[in-house]
Structure 1
Amino acid sequence: MNLITTNKFKGYFKVWAAPISLLIFLFLFGALGYRITEGWDWGDCLWMVLITITTIGFGEVEVLSSAGRIITFLIIGGGLFVVQLTLQRFIQLSELGYFLKLEELRLRRLIRKMKNHVIICGYGRTGKEIAEQLKSEKISTLIIEIDSSRKTEAEEKGYNVLLADATMDETLLLAGIKKCRSLVVTLPSDAANLYVVLSAKALNETCRLIARAANEEAANKLKLAGADAVVSPYVAAGRTMAASALRPIAVDFIDLLAGSDCEIEEFKVTQNRDKIENFNSNTENVFNFSKRNEALLLATKVSGQLMGNPKDKLSVSPGMILIFLGSQEQLNRIRVYLKEILVKNT
């Protein structure tokens, strides 16, 4: 892939070979001409060629001889030819979409370097809000959008945008589905969202998938397809408004959390029983979250059952999800502490 991209870059730059070569030749010819006819040093020769080609007109370095004026005349004629050739090439390439292709190639090179990023499929109203929130959290984000006007709008706000169809496997692979931390699907059609979830799950089983659904039936299908979380904007808005009426402090806490250094993160335990037994048998690895400077264990989830405020000491089990609250530094210590039993990419 890298070799193919390198060859493409070489191909895109070959179109400028003729103007650049002619310009270099003109500089060398002019400098050599002044060197022979006027006897100037190379610095003065090159300076005279530069101000002649660019028509800056600072004046002659020294009074020119008749032969020197002939050289100047040839340089001016050659400069006009090179400038005309360059302008013609620029216009032709613009009409052929050369600069758009060059920008697309630059974006693809950037995407290949991205890892642990979030992919957002669709830059509609929901996608915009998600992108803004991730941007405020300084999370690396890539947007996939098929509408060119929305792509332009997103790029104006500083986002990396891939103009492509998110339902295609090729697009997801190009977006780095195998190296991302999660994928958020906010396409306007439930069928399209379902298609993307199925494709993403097949390409990367460990990727966390979050999908938008218009109704409960679509939400159930998305969960069956492998979505880790399904959000219905209408249901979510209703629950938030109800929570604000009944438990305003809890809602305010979540809002405050979004703008603080603290984060809530979940860690999924492997299904490998040998690793888990080895971890539990080591007395040093028995959980004790009453220690200072550690992230707070908020809850555990086993077989879909959520248990809040777990006791300080507990043993892990296959597939258990541990939910922590803490700073990024504290969460990193937990990640290192549990690295032997965690599922990769958590």
Structure 2
Amino acid sequence: MTPFRRVLTGAVLFLITIIVATAGYMVAGWTFLDAIYQVVITVFGVGFGEVNPITTPTLRLFTMLVIIGGTSSAVYAVGGIVQMITEGEINRALGVRRMLKAIETLENHTIICGFGRMGQILARELKDKQKPFVIVDNDAGRVVEAQEMSYLVISGNATDEEVLELAGIRRARYLATVLPDDAANVFITLTSRGMNPALSILARGEYPSTERKLRLAGANHVVLPATICAMRMSQMITHPASLDLLNHNDGSSTLNELLGNLDMQLDELRVSRGSALIGSFVKDLEVRGRGQVGRTYLIVALRRADGTLIMNPGSTVVLHEDDTVIVMGHRGDMPKLAEELSLKRQIRYRGAKL
């Protein structure tokens, strides 16, 4: 029987005992007030003397049954309440333990500090792309909300080093601090950079003046929501036709889907450890790729391991380990290009929905 069912059953039995006992004393000639008073002091074991003398064997036996029935039903109901509390705490403790175990197995994951509007959108996008992540938030309501969505979440302050350790910051690849408090974002960035120098940190800033502070604290990228919104509105005014083109199909098409209509695609190809391309030039990559694949493609950008982005890299730019080459070419050539050049093909590059 479930704990709730036990509480309900015990409460019903206790109520029945009170009603039957009161009626029994009234049958014995007692007034309603005397009868209910007698039942209360008897069931709860207060120890006061009887209202009226209980001298007959029948009345004494009835009183003993009232004591047994009332006490038993009350104990049964209280036991259900205790069971509910105990099982809830145990399940909660086991749930937290399972979650911490799952977090301990993560590597190259993302830590999201803050589960507000930006944090929720970011978590949803990472889940859709099947990218591992952990949420850190000190708001109990948001923690419960994240748990209900089956996200890995830690309840605590992201400025606390112990909390970041639980989130696996030393094994993480990215940290996104998206709190609406600039001071907190700066402090989290500073703390995280000290704990993991190789971490790529993305920080939110409410005011343009905060960008410099975040970068000094160690942020690789700073996102200013107000600036982005203003630029978006400006584009709507200055380039309405172009935006209409990119926003067709109710804005559901991504950049790659639009390029797909032209049989083109953007892909990210990483120069993995041990690759023969390490130390070579971009022009070497272009020559080898075109010679093997036999079709034209374009290197549009190069992202260094530290997050630095080089747009339209020159032919003499040197390739390093863990660099990511962003390539545009025919859709069917991308897998073959990655194979021929011994590059690790990462997730398909998707621009933000425009």
TM-score (norm 1): 0.58
- Matched position secondary structure for 1:279: coil
Give how far 1:276 is off: 9.9
* Residue matched to 2:300: 298
- Matched position secondary structure for 2:153: strand
1:123 to 103, 112, 115: 115
Counterpart check, 1:307 vs 2:311: yes
Structure 1: which 5+ runs fail to align?
1-82, 340-346
Give how far 1:215 is off: 0.6
State the aligned residue count: 248
1:181 to 169, 173, 178: 173
Once structures 1 and 2 are overlaid, which stretch shifts more, 203-212 or 131-140? 131-140
Alpha-carbon spacing, 1:213–1:114, altered in 2? closer, same or farther (3 Å): same
Give how far 1:240 is off: 2.3
Distance 2:137 2:193 in 1: 20
Structure 2: which 5+ runs fail to align?
1-75, 345-354
* Residue matched to 1:71: none
- Matched position secondary structure for 2:147: helix
Alpha-carbon spacing, 1:265–1:203, altered in 2? closer, same or farther (3 Å): farther
In structure 2, what residue type is equivalent to 1:93?
T
Judge conservation of contact 2:110–2:134 (CA < 8 Å) in 1.
yes
Distance 1:289 1:307 in 2: 19
Tell me which stretches of 4 or more aligned residues in structure 1 moved more than 6 Å.
Answer: 83-86, 275-278, 283-286, 301-305
Judge conservation of contact 1:190–1:213 (CA < 8 Å) in 2.
yes
RMSD after superposition: 4.3
Give how far 1:323 is off: 4.3
Give how far 1:307 is off: 3.2
Give how far 1:105 is off: 0.9
Distance 1:216 1:180 in 2: 28
* Residue matched to 2:8: none
* Residue matched to 2:57: none
- Matched position secondary structure for 1:300: strand
* Residue matched to 1:337: 342
Query: Per chain length, whose mean CA-contact separation is higher, i.e. which structure has more relative contact order (CA < 8 Å, sep 6+)?
Result: 2
Judge conservation of contact 1:295–1:334 (CA < 8 Å) in 2.
no
Give how far 1:94 is off: 4.6
2:100 to 108, 131, 146: 108
Counterpart check, 1:98 vs 2:90: yes
**Pairwise mapping of residues 72-83 of structure 1 onto structure 2 (< 5 A)?**
none
1:138-185 Cα shifts (integer Å, max 9, x gaps): 222211111010111122223221111111111112111122231110
**Pairwise mapping of residues 203-218 of structure 1 onto structure 2 (< 5 A)?**
203-218=195-210
Give how far 1:241 is off: 2.7
* Residue matched to 1:190: 182
Judge conservation of contact 1:276–1:316 (CA < 8 Å) in 2.
no
In structure 2, what residue type is equivalent to 1:324?
I
* Residue matched to 1:236: 228
Alpha-carbon spacing, 1:336–1:190, altered in 2? closer, same or farther (3 Å): farther
Counterpart check, 1:138 vs 2:130: yes
1:220-268 Cα shifts (integer Å, max 9, x gaps): 1101111111001111111223234424278549963378596664868
TM-score (norm 2): 0.56
Judge conservation of contact 1:194–1:222 (CA < 8 Å) in 2.
yes
In structure 2, what residue type is equivalent to 1:228?
N
